[in-house]
Chain A
Amino acid sequence: MVTSLEGLASIFPPSRFVRDAANQAAFESDGLTAFRAKPRAVVIPETAGEVIAAVRWCHENSVPFVARGSGTSLSGGSLPVADGIVIALNRMNRIIEIDPDERIAVVEPGVVNQHVTDAAAKYGLYYAPDPSSQSVCTIGGNVAFNSGGAHCLKYGMTSNHVIGCKAVLATGEVVSMGGRSVESVGPDYTGLFCGSEGLFGIGLEITLRLLPKPEKFHTVLVGYKSLQAAGDAVSAVIDSGLLPGALEIMDALAIEAAEAAVACGYPPEAAAVLIVELEGPAEKIEHERKQLDAVLATTGHFAERIAVDEADRLSIWRGRKSAFSAVGRLSPDFLVQDGVVPRKRLGEALVRIEQLSRESGIRVANVFHAGDGNLHPLIMFDGKQDGALEKAEALAAKLLRLCIEMGGSITGEHGVGVEKRDFLPEMFDATTMAMMERLRLAFDPGLVANPGKMFPGTEAPTLTQSGLHPLEKAGVISRE
């Protein structure tokens, strides 16, 4: 029997209860464009009360729902459940409070990541987690995915910056986890909620920790003749006792793409470039840059460019930040993977990736957060060719297994979602999986919150062709 949506419809004015195909189309997919599903309805709440009422209705009527921020998930996290409800949170975009004295921001879930930093800027503060999608992705989505960025080694992921969260759980219960203090007593439910991928409930009001803006940056771009040398340089920097804000590597193919897209002026002959960024008080950076120079001098690089001012710094980052969308110039479609390996095995992992790429005849570009071993191989294919997507996915699977085998993880920041749900049981043993299932049931006994994600499931979403996120095509965002 199909439940009537009348009760749900009565919560919203008609303009925010969307059922027609044309207006729903935008919600059928997310950043993992290979998948698509049609929801029964999209609701667009403007208040916490409306979200709570909608979730309670879904719970009572056993209708699945998917919370949605900006739909930039790269793992299919915000892909609708066929015949379920999408709860679109973009209009819940108020910054409720910025308290410069306590250095916190209290925000609604639909607030865009970058807007928090913008609002905090006048106090000399900023919100540290910086996924490349930060100009569009929402704090609700960041919390659900425990999103990362280029600065995780030093500052941690989203959860290190979320100190409180009011949420409506899948059962309809409304809870306040954590609060305005960075410390708490009792089990850390806020920490558990971060990264729960929308399976526990919907965040309604999130309290974030803000940091003072670093006084000075020192950004260096270093060119190497081999990927191995760049990898070794990362180890040398780490072993020297420095703690850079960012340590990023791009390989030749990624450089080529970035060069073509934004003419970033990276050393043309480089097999790999390394970006190192130090940040902190001016005096400290003055001191540390000497240390860094000395270390880099031993790493056999053939080119070095030091950002002389902020514009120069941004131009170095532009190549890095655009690399992924830029790969769209080399290939009509690509899959971006997000595995983690122990840092010391980076070199080995890259050799294996190259091998696998050669064996399968599929080109792979590499861009990665080298400081924390977070690889982002870009697997290129042409979706119009028969079986190309399947072949690309088969290669992606091999890369994920490689990460597991090396003692790493199947995701550093993009989440499990739909894309990697079959790999979770390869990373965790059966008893651990069962424990996670039990926890999920504790929050959502009716399995209405984002079913079909994270855990291997029955209902397979529809595969279509892949490609760039619509916002990437429009040049609004680029991926890391």
Chain B
Amino acid sequence: MQAETSILPVGNRTKQPLADDQQATLVSLRELKGIIEYEPSEFTFTAYAGTTISEVNQVLHQRQQYLPFDPMLVDAGATVGGSVAAGLSGSGRFRYGGIRDFVLGVKFLSGTGEVINSGGKVVKNAAGFDIPKLLTGSMGRLGVMVEMTFKVFPMPGCNQTLAVACDSLETAMQRMSLAASSSWELDAIDYRPASKTIFLRLAGPEQVNQILFQKISKTWGSDVTELSDGEAIWRAVNELAWTQPSRSLAVKVPVHRSLMGEIVDFASQRNGVDLHFSTAGAVAWLLCESQDDVDHLDQVLLGKQAAGLVVRGAPERPHIGSWPRTEISLAVKQAMDPVSKFPRLFHT
């Protein structure tokens, strides 16, 4: 049962499928913006939910700090609130963890309008339940986030991007796993099957990157090349814009190795689908041309009991594949939103 006057909090609606609900009134937080507190020496900042990540980045970069998980859809206008609610992390997720690992505290309104102060403002805190993690990925369905505190890190000196040619999925999987287990301390490991290329990002002092580049080259010989337009590559991935704009539907699918082959086959069989793996193969990003592509992907995921989330475009519904329906998820929703002020968590 949804309350008659149900609402859905939204930011800049860069993840439109999540920021939409037929029955709900959209409440925009985009004007609730600004950085409230930034303590470079604490590695923390607190901002209103509607603050754009690009504003945050600007301020952090002035002090040589950053959010290491590569926030997504930054150029598109993503807000901090929307990013947490969607639970999206880009390629940088690989090294230090995702957005879930960097949200320290969230002030939010529950379904009954109470103000809740969850988590804390210091980098280490184990008191009480970790509600900020629960809100990560809650898609505006568990509360209206108004203010959040993040952990930040010092920026590495320089980035360097390498391309590693891989003629098959097997080679790519084997090389990704070697890279991920190596002592090279890579910053990101992505893979694009259609271009038969693994992308590696080194982050650190320039001389050190150079030496590591030599080491990696020794491992895979002439398959390794340095890319001069590295930043553009990562940016395109994190903006979900590495292919033509007509592929407007963007789907996130958390995967593991036994699912990768299936996803690669699916993408190669469909003209309208482009595939990119980030986080050493832990996440598949699929950019699709049509709802028909999404429907087919839905079937593939259902067969594998895997879940997918459409985060861009105008799909019939954002939740595809198999989303476990548990008693506890209903009970948690009820606890956070006793009067059903927000839409259901998911429709499948």
Q: Scan residues 183-231 of chain A and give those whose CB is less than 8 A from a CB of chain B.
A: 183-192, 194-196, 212-215
Chain A proximity of B186: nearest CB distance (Å): 10
* Stretch binding the partner chain, chosen from B48-56, B73-81, B132-140, B231-239: B132-140
User: Which residues does chain A contribute within 8 Å of B129, judged by CB atoms?
Assistant: 192, 195-196, 436, 439-440
B303 at the interface (CB under 8 A from A): no
Task: With a 10 A CB-CB cut-off, give which of A100, A182, A439 has the most chain B CB atoms.
Answer: A182
User: Which residues does chain B contribute within 8 Å of A159, judged by CB atoms?
Assistant: 101, 130, 133
* Stretch binding the partner chain, chosen from B2-10, B206-214, B240-248: B206-214
B28 at the interface (CB under 8 A from A): no
Chain B proximity of A210: nearest CB distance (Å): 9
Quick check: B138 and A187 within 8 Å, CB to CB?
Answer: yes
A447 at the interface (CB under 8 A from B): no
A209–B75 CA distance with the chains assembled, in angstroms: 31
A188–B69 CA distance with the chains assembled, in angstroms: 17
A44–B179 CA distance with the chains assembled, in angstroms: 42
Quick check: A160 and B101 within 8 Å, CB to CB?
Answer: yes
Quick check: B183 and A187 within 8 Å, CB to CB?
Answer: no
> In the complex, which of the residues A102, A153, A341, A344 contacts B177, with contact meaning CB atoms closer than 8 Å?
A102
Closest to A163 in B: B282
Quick check: A188 and B126 within 8 Å, CB to CB?
Answer: no
A418 at the interface (CB under 8 A from B): no
User: Which residues does chain A contribute within 8 Å of B40, judged by CB atoms?
Assistant: 239
Quick check: A179 and B335 within 8 Å, CB to CB?
Answer: no
B interface residues, how many (CB within 8 angstroms): 84
User: Which residues does chain A contribute within 8 Å of B173, judged by CB atoms?
Assistant: 101
Quick check: B93 and A182 within 8 Å, CB to CB?
Answer: yes
A146–B133 CA distance with the chains assembled, in angstroms: 13
A296 at the interface (CB under 8 A from B): no
Q: Scan residues 71-126 of chain B and give those whose CB is less than 8 A from a CB of chain A.
A: 87, 89, 93, 96-98, 100-101, 110, 114-118, 120-126
B329 at the interface (CB under 8 A from A): yes
Quick check: A413 and B331 within 8 Å, CB to CB?
Answer: no
Quick check: B212 and A281 within 8 Å, CB to CB?
Answer: yes
Quick check: A442 and B184 within 8 Å, CB to CB?
Answer: no
Quick check: A416 and B128 within 8 Å, CB to CB?
Answer: yes
Q: Scan residues 317-366 of chain A and give those whose CB is less than 8 A from a CB of chain B.
A: 340-344
* Stretch binding the partner chain, chosen from A17-25, A387-395, A424-432: A424-432
B323 at the interface (CB under 8 A from A): yes
A454–B118 CA distance with the chains assembled, in angstroms: 15
Quick check: B126 and A183 within 8 Å, CB to CB?
Answer: no
Quick check: B124 and A157 within 8 Å, CB to CB?
Answer: yes
* CB-CB under 8 A for A242 and B154, given A185-B137, A435-B116: yes
A384 at the interface (CB under 8 A from B): no
* CB-CB under 8 A for A179 and B254, given A157-B124, A373-B122, A409-B125: yes
> In the complex, which of the residues B117, B126, B153 contacts A428, with contact meaning CB atoms closer than 8 Å?
B117
Quick check: B181 and A125 within 8 Å, CB to CB?
Answer: yes
User: Which residues does chain A contribute within 8 Å of B309, judged by CB atoms?
Assistant: 185-186
A239–B208 CA distance with the chains assembled, in angstroms: 21
A227–B125 CA distance with the chains assembled, in angstroms: 24
> In the complex, which of the residues B122, B142, B184, B257 contacts A102, with contact meaning CB atoms closer than 8 Å?
B257
B332 at the interface (CB under 8 A from A): yes
A38 at the interface (CB under 8 A from B): no
Closest to A338 in B: B126
User: Which residues does chain A contribute within 8 Å of B100, judged by CB atoms?
Assistant: 188, 191
* CB-CB under 8 A for A283 and B126, given A175-B326, A342-B42, A344-B41: no
> In the complex, which of the residues B130, B154, B338 contacts A243, with contact meaning CB atoms closer than 8 Å?
B154
A405–B192 CA distance with the chains assembled, in angstroms: 50
A284 at the interface (CB under 8 A from B): yes
> In the complex, which of the residues B128, B180, B212 contacts A454, with contact meaning CB atoms closer than 8 Å?
B128
B204 at the interface (CB under 8 A from A): yes
Quick check: A413 and B122 within 8 Å, CB to CB?
Answer: no
Encode A158-186 as 1/0 by CB contact (under 8 A) with B. 01100000000101010110011111111
Quick check: A436 and B126 within 8 Å, CB to CB?
Answer: no
Closest to B117 in A: A432
Chain B proximity of A122: nearest CB distance (Å): 12
Closest to B307 in A: A185
Quick check: A239 and B41 within 8 Å, CB to CB?
Answer: yes
User: Which residues does chain B contribute within 8 Å of A181, judged by CB atoms?
Assistant: 254-256, 282-283
Quick check: B130 and A183 within 8 Å, CB to CB?
Answer: no
> In the complex, which of the residues B89, B97, B185, B346 contacts A281, with contact meaning CB atoms closer than 8 Å?
B185
Quick check: A195 and B130 within 8 Å, CB to CB?
Answer: yes
B43 at the interface (CB under 8 A from A): yes
Chain B proximity of A128: nearest CB distance (Å): 11
B195 at the interface (CB under 8 A from A): no
A13 at the interface (CB under 8 A from B): no
Quick check: A189 and B329 within 8 Å, CB to CB?
Answer: yes
Quick check: A173 and B326 within 8 Å, CB to CB?
Answer: yes
A70 at the interface (CB under 8 A from B): no
* CB-CB under 8 A for A442 and B328, given A100-B177, A148-B126, A435-B131: yes
Task: With a 10 A CB-CB cut-off, give which of B173, B252, B332, B346 has the most chain A CB atoms.
Answer: B332
Quick check: A124 and B328 within 8 Å, CB to CB?
Answer: no
Closest to A279 in B: B185
Quick check: B336 and A435 within 8 Å, CB to CB?
Answer: yes
A148–B127 CA distance with the chains assembled, in angstroms: 13
* CB-CB under 8 A for A442 and B124, given A123-B181, A431-B115: no
A156–B335 CA distance with the chains assembled, in angstroms: 28
* CB-CB under 8 A for A369 and B124, given A175-B328, A238-B43: yes
B229 at the interface (CB under 8 A from A): no
Chain B proximity of A380: nearest CB distance (Å): 24
Quick check: A156 and B97 within 8 Å, CB to CB?
Answer: yes
Encode A409-422 as 1/0 by CB contact (under 8 A) with B. 11111111000100
Top 4 A-B pairs ranked by shortest CB distance? Answer: A191-B133, A215-B183, A181-B254, A442-B331
- Seen from chain B, the residues whose Cβ lies within 8 Å of a Cβ on chain A are 39-43, 64, 87, 89, 93, 96-98, 100-101, 110, 114-118, 120-131, 133-139, 142, 153-155, 173-174, 177, 180-185, 204-205, 207-208, 211-212, 252, 254-257, 279, 282-283, 307-309, 319, 323-324, 326-329, 331-332, 334-336, 338, 345-346
A-B contact pairs, 8 of them (CB 8 A): A101-B177, A173-B326, A176-B324, A344-B42, A373-B124, A409-B124, A411-B125, A432-B116
* Contacts A160-B101, A281-B183, A436-B128 known; 13 new A-B pairs at CB < 8 A: A101-B177, A125-B181, A180-B256, A186-B345, A192-B129, A192-B131, A213-B183, A243-B153, A373-B122, A374-B124, A432-B117, A436-B129, A439-B332
